[in-house]
């Protein structure tokens, strides 16, 4: 294997298996989503793990839709899942499977179990089954239908399949042990009657297999070697093993790892669906959603998500990863790759009184100091510019090194300016700041070595383009949104200010033609992504991907 990859307990298991020539040394994993929602960042962890192991061990990884639940599954979800896996940079090649492809095989295996006396048709209602199951401390009781003959079971099961019985009237159960300390082995349900149309098999089937019955058999049929899943399936493993052993078929090893929990968000498809259906967000790909499509639209790159998944590693213990761990991954990448530009979010007009009325100049601005090969661009400058409202204070607090009456600051790439006064409207609100500039500081450097403590960004008012900018913040206010008082709902912890839309932000004129999908650093403000859905040619919409850890903060003594 690739020795540069940090090891983990799953890799150690695989290394041992290869050394023992288990499965002839093959490594074959799968990612098995249920198509009942869009994938989220937790699924990305599972995808990177499964496809990453296959890549590193020169094995294979399948994409398999676990589509045994006809009511909740839709083709829209299937398509979004495929798009997301591809976007993350992984390929299943020709190994795209559906559990529903195996319905006939699964049925045939059930017949084998019935013939072996290891499965029976039970007529108990759900309620009765629950009562008979017992509790953790008490053994269950056997169903009165438990001792039906194999022939009778076979006859009933065939008739279940042909649609003779109404929904919920009969189930097929494994015949295991009603006193088993693991409740999941107290004659678990394998098949239910459900006369529902399936998104792929239509009305062919009147019975559908359960997750527990299906999953291990699909793994087995596909020749999976390591079936990697989240910790909650640990208690299901004895059942996974039981089914495969009773049938004597290829037996993959189930390995559990801790699911990803991310702070300030929820990673449950049910809850994410609730946000979407109640219109608390604008769809599955809302840039605030922790879905892969949400992160994509927010401006995350596939490599930043992969880096995150590698960095958090895999463990056996549940924990919550703080959102900044993820944000740092995209920041680090965009710091190196995104072109820097100047934009003003909350504009304040500055008039440079001693600058000639009709003059325009162009300054060379560096596109990315981290990468000289990205070159420079021209930025226009004129008598009137916009600066950030926050960068001016008439009555500054201590250590305010930005623009304030009497104090000189550097306009990035342009000149030193000094504030001489302000103009206010009738309500006393500052509408203009007046300054003078020193022509000797052209380009932003002083010939006499005179130092200024603050450098601020700006946009020429004459040449500006006014863009729509969307500032996103975390979707929930709490680190753990599920930590709410009894009776309260997780939606009560939604961040009411998670999206601020600014409709007319002055930006460098070249940004008018920014292409959907382009990424920029707005100097001192953060990283922004041109929204691929709402932008139109000549009218880009910028989504804030992530704020910037302001590297100028120290110089300016702020934040």
Residues involved in catalysis? 34, 259, 269
Cα 230 to Cα 54, 185, 233, 358: the distances in Å are 18, 19, 6, 66
| Candidate list 13, 22, 34, 384; residue touching ligand ATP; CB under 6 A | 34
Least distance in angstroms from the C-beta of 30 to ligand ATP: 9
Structure tokens at 322: 């703080």
Minimum CB–partner distance for residue 283 and ligand ATP (Å): 19
Helices (H), 338-435: none
* 471: contact with ligand ATP by CB under 6 A: no
Among 36, 478, 491, 547, binds ligand ATP (CB under 6 A): 36
Positions of E strands within 412-540: 416-424, 430-438, 455-456, 459-460, 465-472, 499-507, 519-522, 526-530
Q: Are 370 and 494 in contact (CB under 8 A)?
A: no
Closest CA to 19 of 61, 52, 60, 57: 57
Minimum distance of ligand ATP from residue 49's CB (angstroms): 8
The CA distance from 182 to 266, in Å, is 29
Name which position in 11, 28, 45, 296 contacts ligand ATP (CB under 6 A).
45
Instruction: Give whichever of 62 and 460 is closer to ligand ATP, judged by the CB atom.
Output: 62
State in angstroms the smallest separation of the CB of 88 from ligand ATP: 13
43 forms part of the interface with ligand ATP (CB under 6 A) = yes
Long-range contacts of 91-96 (CB under 8 A, 24+ apart): 92/61, 92/62, 92/63, 95/60, 95/61, 95/62, 95/63, 95/222, 96/62, 96/63, 96/64
- In the complex with ligand ATP, which residue's Cβ is closer, 37 or 540? 37
3-state secondary structure string, 181-205?
A: CCHHHCCCEEEEECCCCECCCECCC
Stretch that binds ligand ATP, among 31-39, 283-291, 466-474, 486-494 (CB under 6 A): 31-39
| Residue of 133, 159, 259, 349 interacting with ligand ATP (CB under 6 A) | 259
Least separation in angstroms between residue 330's CB and ligand ATP is 19
> Quick check: 230 binds ligand ATP (CB under 6 A)?
yes
The answer to whether residue 140 forms part of the interface with ligand ATP (CB under 6 A) is no
Give the residue, chosen from 236, 264, 269, 412, that forms a contact with ligand ATP under the rule CB under 6 A.
269
Size of the site for ligand ATP (CB under 6 A): 14
Residues paired with 61 in a beta bridge? 29
Say whether residue 289 binds ligand ATP (CB under 6 A).
Answer: no
Q: How far is the CB of 463 from ligand ATP (least distance, A)?
A: 48
Work out the angle at residue 501's Cα, subtended by the Cα atoms of residues 497 and 504, and round it to the nearest 5 degrees. 150
Tokens of 506: 């002055």
What residue is closest to ligand ATP based on CB?
Answer: 42
264 belongs to the binding site for ligand ATP (CB under 6 A): no
Give the containing element (helix H, strand E) for 387: strand 384-388
Q: Does 310 bind ligand ATP (CB under 6 A)?
A: no
Q: Which of 11, 17, 27, 32 binds ligand ATP (CB under 6 A)?
A: 32
For residue 8, state whether it binds ligand ATP (rule: CB under 6 A): no
Q: Which listed range, 34-42, 176-184, 240-248, 539-547, lies at the site for ligand ATP (CB under 6 A)?
A: 34-42
For position 412 contacting ligand ATP by CB under 6 A, the verdict is no
Reduced to 3 states (helix: H, G, I; strand: E, B; else coil), residue 470 is strand
Length of the chain as a residue count: 559
Residue pair 27/18 in contact by the 8 Å Cβ criterion:
yes
Helix 75-87 / helix 41-56 crossing angle, nearest 10 deg: 50
Which class for 138: exposed (0-12), middle (13-18), buried (19 or more C-beta within 10 A)?
exposed
- Min separation Cβ 315 and ligand ATP, Å: 11
Region of 40-48, 337-345, 359-367, 543-551 interacting with ligand ATP (CB under 6 A): 40-48
**466 with 506: CB under 8 angstroms?**
yes
Q: Is 314 in the site for ligand ATP (CB under 6 A)?
A: no
Determine if 70 is a binding residue for ligand ATP (CB under 6 A): no
Answer for which of 10, 18, 33, 391 binds ligand ATP (CB under 6 A) is 33
Question: Is the separation of the CB atoms in 376 and 458 below 8 Å?
Answer: no
Which of 46, 80, 124, 210 touches ligand ATP by CB under 6 A? Answer: 46
Q: Quote the Cα angle for 522-525-528, to 5°.
A: 50
Residue 263 interacting with ligand ATP (CB under 6 A): no
Select the residue interacting with ligand ATP from 229, 365, 494, 511 (CB under 6 A): 229
Separation CA 249–CA 240 (nearest Å): 12
* Interaction site with ligand ATP (CB under 6 A): 32-34, 36, 42-43, 45-46, 229-230, 259-260, 267, 269
């Amino acid at each position: 294997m690739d020795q540069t990859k940090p090891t983990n307990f799953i890799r150690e298991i695989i290394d041992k298996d290869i050394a023992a020539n288990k499965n002839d040394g093959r490594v074959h994993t799968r990612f098995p989503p249920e198509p009942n929602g869009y994938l989220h960042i937790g699924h990305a962890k599972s995808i990177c793990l499964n496809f990453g192991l296959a890549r590193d061990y020169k094995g294979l990884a399948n994409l398999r839709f676990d589509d045994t639940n006809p009511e909740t599954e839709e083709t829209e979800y299937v398509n979004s899942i495929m798009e997301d896996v591809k976007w993350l940079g992984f390929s299943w090649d020709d190994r795209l499977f559906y559990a529903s492809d195996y319905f006939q095989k699964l049925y045939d295996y059930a017949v084998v179990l019935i013939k072996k006396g290891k499965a029976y048709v039970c007529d108990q209602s759900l309620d009765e089954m629950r009562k008979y199951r017992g509790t953790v401390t008490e053994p269950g009781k056997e169903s009165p239908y438990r001792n039906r003959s194999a022939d009778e079971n076979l006859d009933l099961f065939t008739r279940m399949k042909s649609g003779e019985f109404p929904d919920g009237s009969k189930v097929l159960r494994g015949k295991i042990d009603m006193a088993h300390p693991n409740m999941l082995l107290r004659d678990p349900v394998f098949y239910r009657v459900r006369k529902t149309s399936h998104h792929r098999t239509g009305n062919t089937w009147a019975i559908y297999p359960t997750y527990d019955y299906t999953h291990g058999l699909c793994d087995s049929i596909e020749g999976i070697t390591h079936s990697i899943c989240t910790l909650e399936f640990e208690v299901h493993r004895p059942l996974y093993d039981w089914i495969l052993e009773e049938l004597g078929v290829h037996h993959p090893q189930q390995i559990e790892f801790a699911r990803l929990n991310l702070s300030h968000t929820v990673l449950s498809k049910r809850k994410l669906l609730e946000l979407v259906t109640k219109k608390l967000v604008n769809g599955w790909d809302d840039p605030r959603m922790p879905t892969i499509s949400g992160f994509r639209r927010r401006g995350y790159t596939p490599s930043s998500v992969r880096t995150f998944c590698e960095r958090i590693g895999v463990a056996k213990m549940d924990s919550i990863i703080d959102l900044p761990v993820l944000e740092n991954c995209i920041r680090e990448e965009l710091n190196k790759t995104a072109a820097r530009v100047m934009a003003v979010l909350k504009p304040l007009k500055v008039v440079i009184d001693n600058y000639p009325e009709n003059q325009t100049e162009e300054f060379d601005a560096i596109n990315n100091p981290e990468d000289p090969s990205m070159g420079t661009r021209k930025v226009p400058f004129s008598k009137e510019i916009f600066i950030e409202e926050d960068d001016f204070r008439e009555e500054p607090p201590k250590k305010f090194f930005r623009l304030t009456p009497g104090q000189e600051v550097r306009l990035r790439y342009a000149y030193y300016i000094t504030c001489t006064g302000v103009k206010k409207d009738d309500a006393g609100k500052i509408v203009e700041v007046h300054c003078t500039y020193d022509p000797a500081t052209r380009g932003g450097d002083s010939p006499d070595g005179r130092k200024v403590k603050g450098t601020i960004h700006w946009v020429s008012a004459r040449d500006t383009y006014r863009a729509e900018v969307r500032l996103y913040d975390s979707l929930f206010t709490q680190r753990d949104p599920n930590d709410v008082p009894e009776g309260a709902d997780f939606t009560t912890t939604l961040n009411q200010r998670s999206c601020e839309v600014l409709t007319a932000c002055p930006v460098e004129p070249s940004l008018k033609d920014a292409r959907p999908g382009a990424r920029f650093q707005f100097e001192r403000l953060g990283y922004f992504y041109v929204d691929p859905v709402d932008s139109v040619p000549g009218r880009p919409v910028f989504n804030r991907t992530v704020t910037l850890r302001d590297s100028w903060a120290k110089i300016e003594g702020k934040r």
